[in-house]
Structure 1
């Protein structure tokens, strides 16, 4: 079981007891505004079961962790790391925080923690993040953690019936702060 700590946060492996928070974050219209249209509970349950089964960090797989308050164990959100291209040493990052945790620096703190852990454990060359252009808060988190906008993928993300442009951000492991 993975456990990472910062001064305020604990990042840990997802357990069966996390179902309620997983369901909430994946079905909330507000939280998924820049990600996807909320899916049915059965589809979300299937995703949750895959997360629980995925204990190998193989190429193409996501390692999803819970972000919680290190002192109270209150749920803050999720942060994930994908081993997107082992040969090229590339990992993708993504995160989603509960609305009550927005604006408190938790996203950047947890992102920095998982990047540091990945650098020590896997020695990647580069981290990549996708963020639709309208998601200003996520852009600020990425930039705070040293990511640089490397390009724009036009109409790369479809949410409902609407297409959005994706910004692609990169962070070379050698340049991390």
Structure 2
């Protein structure tokens, strides 16, 4: 799976060895991890990074991760991932992290729409899910702008920095996703 997913503003590339520094910087940044979980140790980040470098298929248990870059500058601006959650129902969970300097530019919504299109066309996914903390208003807005619907809020579901936070569970049927013209998948 060496494909790039390209649109005018974004280029998504499958995670590769040379992406270690951007991954390490994301998962050790307290600001980025504030609504996701504890800042991770370098050893834990390395273990997850190595798992995500492995070949991916529908029955994989690890995430399929892309680095999101601005097409015009080539700057890495974050990551986006999918993971099969129910193979029989062709359901995938999506997740994303955008660097602070690039938030508010529509990049996360664009990346989600590109991944939805890719995952439906390439793997036949029929449903997408996502989870974020209730207090992370930015992620909630992105998921809703990308066409996902809030299904449930589970109180005190996840521990982040020693406190329990409410989790918002979102979903979207692939047939109901927002469609936009595909630029290209190489």
Instruction: Give the ranges of 4+ consecutive aligned residues of structure 1 lying more than 4 Å apart after TM superposition.
Output: none
Cα deviation digits, residues 107-160 of structure 1 (max 9, x gap): 000000000111111222210000110000001001101111011122211112
For residues 94 and 55 of structure 1, the distance between their equivalents in structure 2, rounded to whole angstroms, comes to 16
Number of residues paired by the alignment? 177
Decide whether the 8 Å contact of 2:152 with 2:170 is kept in 1. Answer: yes
Decide whether the 8 Å contact of 2:58 with 2:123 is kept in 1. Answer: no
Q: CA deviation at 1:16?
A: 0.9
For residues 21 and 2 of structure 1, the distance between their equivalents in structure 2, rounded to whole angstroms, comes to 19
TM normalised by structure 1 equals: 0.96
Q: CA deviation at 1:39?
A: 1.4
TM normalised by structure 2 equals: 0.91
Larger mean Cα displacement after TM superposition, 53-62 or 146-155: 53-62
Q: Which runs of 5+ in 2 are unaligned?
A: 179-186
Q: Which runs of 5+ in 1 are unaligned?
A: none
Match of 1:127 in 2: 128
For residues 127 and 16 of structure 1, the distance between their equivalents in structure 2, rounded to whole angstroms, comes to 28
Choose between structure 1 and 2 for higher RCO, CA contacts under 8 A separated by at least 6 residues: 2
Match of 1:150 in 2: 151
For residues 39 and 120 of structure 1, the distance between their equivalents in structure 2, rounded to whole angstroms, comes to 34
